[in-house]
Amino acid sequence: MTAIPDLVRASSPALPTARGPLSAAVLTALTGGRAGSAALALETGTEAGSGPGPAVAAADPYGEDLHLALYVLYELHYRGFAGVPEGCEWDPDLLRVRRALEDRFLAALRRDVPAGRTVADAFGELLLEPSGEGGVAHHLQHRGELWQLREYAALRSLYHLKEADPHAWVIPRLAGRAKAAMVAVEYDEFGAGRAEDVHARLFADLMRDLDLDATYGHYLDAAPGPALPPVNLMSLFGLHRSLRGALVGHFACVEITSSPGARRLAAALRRLGVGEAAQRFYDEHVEADAVHEQVVRREVIGGLLEDEPALEPDVAFGADATVFLEDRLGAALLESWRVGASALRIPLQPPPPPEPSAAWADSPDADPDGA
């Protein structure tokens, strides 16, 4: 069996740095045990029977403080954090706060995303190739620089190193055609039985080719605020059975838009001379997701709506919410890059210079001092 490097094995990342009062209260609770959890309820005003307090009600529903707090609470259901007791996953005070943060986020999405759309409305637009070159993938394909590609991979690692995991939560909530097709697609996402082909592992290989740290959660502190809601969205949908339709919509949106975007990003990697391991991640998605798109639309969505036709608006909402948040992230990245600024909160270190080749080093004209 192929050995797996330590960096892609299950491990708990370190807690991040707070970005405001809500995330600070959550982090304090996680490091303070039950006493910390009680203090959290008092800090956020979410004591039992009280509803959200002023700190939650006043928070920007798309802001980095609320979303870091939510990200941290969701991560307790994935790999947790180093030094945080595993029992915190089901701490009632933490769950109460998480629900208040979720409600604030979800209410904003329902306000800002068109309501009452059909699956044909939502997915008909996704099947059209966008005109112009305004998106991140277009920018990276035609004009992006290596440092921008590295930033993109670093912040997307929060998503891609767990990409298929929250979608798996919907499997026990489906039946028949929808369940069988969902399992088939997820089987591919998880490497079809081969650890070295798990898509999260392929993304870790891409990161190493870009001289990035592929440790799970490593770039959380560096990620800008708009990078957090897209990750939290799939956790929100995945953890709630009542949002199973929205999770299927999110999953379908990802699969439908993945193939053309992956093709552009693979072209960007080749144009910039990045290694084959990095290219493989996007090459794999060009082929696999073109097939997955058909399976998801016809069998997962078709099967779900055959069983539960009332969920159609939820499926459309899941897709539309995904596009809404991804567009916000893309706009933020391009705004920074177009003026030559880093889009990250903590800019990346430049990659090390390549080692001189043996032929160059042995050349009589070679100057070891670089003069």
Domain ranges within the chain, ordered by starting residue: 14-111, 116-127+134-337
In 3D, which of 109, 114, 113 has the Cα closest to residue 61?
109
Q: What pLDDT score was predicted for residue 198? A: 92
- CATH node for 116-127+134-337: 1.20.910.10
Cα–Cα distances (Å) from 141 to 270, 326, 333, in that order, read 9, 18, 15
Backbone φ and ψ of 213, nearest 5°: -80, 115
Q: What pLDDT score was predicted for residue 364? A: 35
The DSSP-derived string for 152-183 is HHHHHHHHHTTTTHHHHTTGGG--HHHHHHHH
How many angstroms separate the CA atoms of 106 and 364, rounded? 67
Note the pTM of the prediction, 2 decimals: 0.88
What is the separation, in whole angstroms, between the first and last Cα of the chain? 49
Q: What pLDDT score was predicted for residue 368? A: 31
Q: Which helix (H) or strand (E) holds 139?
A: helix 136-142
How big, in percent rounded to 5, are the helix, strand and coil portions of the chain?
65, 0, 35
Structure tokens at 337: 């890059």
From the DSSP assignment, how many helices (H) and strands (E) are in the chain? 16, 0
Average pLDDT for runs of 10 along the chain of length 371: 40 94 93 61 58 83 98 97 94 92 97 93 77 79 96 96 94 97 93 91 94 96 98 98 98 88 91 86 76 88 97 97 96 96 94 55 36 32
Q: What pLDDT score was predicted for residue 351? A: 74
Cα–Cα distances (Å) from 30 to 4, 23, 24, 94, 167, in that order, read 30, 11, 10, 9, 26
How many angstroms separate the CA atoms of 172 and 57, rounded? 34
Cα–Cα distances (Å) from 158 to 91, 120, 214, in that order, read 24, 30, 10
